[in-house]
Homo-oligomer: A and B are copies of this chain.
């Protein structure tokens, strides 16, 4: 794609990193250009609608990765506890051990919130449903499974915010470590 040195996916990966770090409105074309090594014109060549296109590409990429890794871990072989451990392991990877923000968080603010709200709600909802299914498998009643699944997503998002604000990922790591047991306890 860029003179055959970076694939489209690699370019979008870098774009994604910028959005996760600076949010939608804090991300400028200048920064995207620098991060990808592509000039403005090249960016518009690949993403005709500019910033919004790039944000959509980032959303899609991160969505695929999430399905293929995080959700796949939830649906993997093994008992509920093993699946939840595989899940939290992938979550930690997904957020670089708490050092990277969640796109769903930073895109839910301001202008981007309006652009992506539908996607964001669907993603949160899908994750809650997937965790809930695992918890039902473990024998929890549907309502309680859903309640705990919501709490899990809340804890992940909250731990990311707290870790970012504190500039210390210790809370994020602890919350993830304790999560499988907490979710399954009687």
Of A37-45, A66-74, A87-95, A101-109, the one contacting chain B is: A101-109
User: Contacts A150-B162, A153-B158 known; A109 to B167 CB distance under 8 Å?
Assistant: no
A2 contacts chain B at the CB level, 8 A cutoff:
no
Give which listed residue, B111, B151, B162, contacts A22 with CB less than 8 A: B111
Of A8-16, A50-58, A113-121, the one contacting chain B is: A113-121
Give which listed residue, B121, B155, B166, B175, contacts A165 with CB less than 8 A: B121
* This chain: copies in complex: 2
A32 contacts chain B at the CB level, 8 A cutoff:
no
The chain B residue with its CB closest to the CB of A28 is B25
List residues of chain B with CB within 8 A of the CB of A104: 161, 165
| Those 4 A-B pairs whose CB atoms lie nearest each other, nearest first | A158-B158, A26-B110, A154-B158, A25-B26
* Bound Cα distance from A28 to B85, whole angstroms: 44
Give which listed residue, B21, B101, B117, B157, contacts A158 with CB less than 8 A: B157
Smallest Cβ distance from A123 to chain B, in angstroms? 8
List residues of chain B with CB within 8 A of the CB of A101: 109
The chain B residue with its CB closest to the CB of A182 is B151
